[in-house]
Chains A and B, each alone.
Chain A
Amino acid sequence: MLNGYGSTILDGAWLTLSLALTSMALAIVLGLIGAAFRLSPIKWLALLGETYATVIRGIPDLVLILLIFYGGQDVVNRVAPLLGFEDYIDLDPFVTGVFTMGFIFGAYLSETFRGAFMAIPKGQSEAGAAYGMTGTQVFFRVLVPQMIRFAIPGFTNNWLVLVKATALVSTVSLQDMMFKAKNAADATHQPFTFYLVVAALYLAITSVSLLLLRALEKRYSVGMKVAEL
């Protein structure tokens, strides 16, 4: 199928998916930390979280990817000799990709999570405190489970943007499906065919994600009253 390039592109699709899922896991952790910082009463922590969210969201993903892939590699190899490493250090493209995407989307998720935490009625955390829970216990037992319901719509959006943004790593030679399609297009002189196939694969991933996350939203909204118009 596709002049024998079908299976290569599917390999690439697998890399796209694993990159997106791993980055999202990292982004969730960073987003929770970012949101906790921004809601913290300690001023410098709040400022740190605010700066992270504002600066990362103010710079294009592509520039951040180029900055971390090439600039990061560059700086690592300028600093390493000062610390006594003589060999040229090559950063692993997949790991660098995960860190880059996780770092970028952590900032977007911190915004989503912050809004979701603020949507929880204040009485909830007060009730937790009244039961004698510590701050950490209130956070993980009372706030996080309720926050998920408010965060799902924003999260869905962030996930879709993340999946689509992974196409950009093909420009720094990570062999995702976009990269494989580019190779196939160059070799066969059929760019339209191959980019169309990749577009269809992305559309399939985003469509399935939408269905799954909508089901999840329903699950987390069980027991919530919906106002009838």
Chain B
Amino acid sequence: MIFDFAPIWENIHLYLGGILITLKLLAISLAVGLAAAIPLGLMRVSRQPLVNGAAWLYTYVIRGTPMLVQLFLIYYGLAQFSAVRESVLWPLLSDATFCACLAFAINTSAYSAEILAGSLKAIPHGEIEAAKAMGMSRAKLYRRILLPSALRRALPQYSNEVIMMLHTTSLASIVTLVDITGAAKTINSQFYLAFEAYITAGAIYLCLTFVLVRLFKLAERRWLAYLAPRKA
């Protein structure tokens, strides 16, 4: 047999630990990223050129440069400045987990903001006019009508973004974290079984992707039921 999966099974705990790290990175960066994306998305639909332009520039630069460069700028780059090294934030900024989460959150906030802005623009005019006719203030209009509607309509596109983020977290292995990819790297360096180690990691990511797709299908059925085509 040219393949030898026995060392993989014996070290399966490494992969299991890796799954936990991957999911932790994913959850933190998505939560922080989405929280930042909501104000950014609202800025992107603003009619004030300065507000809109600032958010546009942010999303344009983040979406136009590779995730790896952003991660390196934060993790390796910031150490260049002695002001950063001597600041109170240094213990955080020299921590790989913190830097990875920060870089991922910044990245996903830009993509999610554009998705949210797109779905805000796609809200039927009638919904907004009706809310205004009811005498709602701007804040109430956003809180009760625009955001709930836009966040729901953004679900199908946001599910793609979440899967992209799951895949992006694999970059954490480059800054020494032992996520799923990091576990495969460890096993490869111990046993020289590159093919078996990475194909196992690939299979795990594939399963996680399927689970996420399934979960979003269920979420769509729950929150987008009113947009589904009528059953015959």
Residues of A near any B CB (own CB < 8 A): 55, 58-64, 66-67, 70-75, 78-79, 82, 160, 164-168, 170-171, 178, 182, 185, 189-193, 195-196, 198-199, 202-203, 206-207
Contact = CB atoms under 8 A, between A and B. Distances in A.
Contacts of B197: 71
Contacts of A189: 80
A202 B65 contact: yes
Interface residues on B, range: 35 or more
B2 A78 contact: yes
A138 to B, nearest CB: 30
Contact of A70 (B170, B173, B188): B188
Contact of B81 (A82, A167, A192): A192
Interface in B94-119: none
Contacts of A165: 66
Contacts of A75: 2, 195
Most chain A Cβ neighbours within 10 Å, of B66, B70, B79: B66
A203 B64 contact: yes
B52 to A, nearest CB: 18
Interface of B: 2, 61, 63-70, 72-73, 76-81, 166-168, 170-171, 173-174, 181, 184-185, 188, 192-199, 201-202, 205-206, 209-210
**Could you tell me the dominant secondary structure of chain B's interface residues?**
helix
A195 B72 contact: yes
Given A168-B171, A178-B66, A192-B78, 8 more contacts: A59-B206, A67-B201, A72-B195, A160-B63, A167-B67, A191-B76, A191-B80, A203-B65
Contacts of A193: 80
A55 B206 contact: yes
A191 B175 CA distance: 14
6 contacts: A60-B167, A67-B202, A79-B2, A178-B66, A195-B76, A202-B69
B171 A206 contact: no
A192 B77 contact: yes
Given A185-B76, A206-B64, A63 B188 contact: no
Contacts of B196: 71
A224 B88 CA distance: 59
B184 A63 contact: yes
B77 A191 contact: yes
Contacts of A182: 72
A207 B64 contact: yes
A74 B199 CA distance: 12
B80 A64 contact: no
Contacts of A190: 80
Shortest 9 CB-CB contacts between residues of A and residues of B: A71-B195, A192-B77, A60-B167, A70-B194, A67-B198, A167-B66, A164-B66, A60-B170, A58-B209
